[in-house]
Amino acid sequence: MEELKAKDQIRELMARYVRYADEKNWTDLASLFTPEGSFTPLNVNGQPLVQMQGRQQIAQTILEAVGQATAIHHLFSYEITLDTAEQATGIFSMEDQLIHNQDNSTPIHASSVIPAFKTMHGFGHYHANFIKIGAAWYIEKLVQTRIKLDFTY
């Protein structure tokens, strides 16, 4: 029963992650990570687009990357493995879109190799390490892999 409860809490954690992303609530999104947590989105070739470490850098980097774009995130199937009562790993299928208004486009990040775009539509997976601190689960490490990325410029 404890395993099912933990898996449900982790699913809810990731559901909050995508909701906060859609709402552009970067501070609350970053609070889902441990204080030293990391987030690394990859391109379709498996190369990092940007590497973020710590809540403040995660919130600031995503804010700069998304700006005023409309963000749409979906999670689908998931696999969660409890390694211990306080540690777990998970893989979540995902789809996301970023849509800039007609007068605005931005690169994913200033150091990114992806040029400024009007729309982005991506498919892939989140690979996560989770840790339970007290009664709550947090993201310790999040890597976003990509199967496909489509852009309009």
Q: 88-137: per-residue pLDDT in tens?
A: 999 999 999 999 886 655 555 555 566 778 999 999 999 999 999 999 99
Please give the Cα distance from 72 to 108 (Å, whole number).
Answer: 15
What is the token pair recorded at 100?
């800039």
Task: Sketch the domain layout of the chain as residue ranges.
Answer: 2-152
CB 98 within 8 A of CB 69: yes
CB 152 within 8 A of CB 122: no
10: pLDDT confidence band, cut at 50, 70 and 90? very high
Q: 39-49: per-residue pLDDT in tens?
A: 999 999 999 99
Q: With helix as H, strand as E and coil as C, how does the chain read?
A: CHHHHHHHHHHHHHHHHHHHHHHCCHHHHHCCEEEEEEEEEECCCCCECCCEECHHHHHHHHHHHHCCCEEEEEEEEEEEEECCCCEEEEEEEEEEEEECCCCCCECCCCCCCCCCECEEEEEEEEEEEEEEECCEEEEEEEEEEEEEEEEEC
132 forms beta bridges with 137
* Overall CATH class of domain 2-152: alpha beta
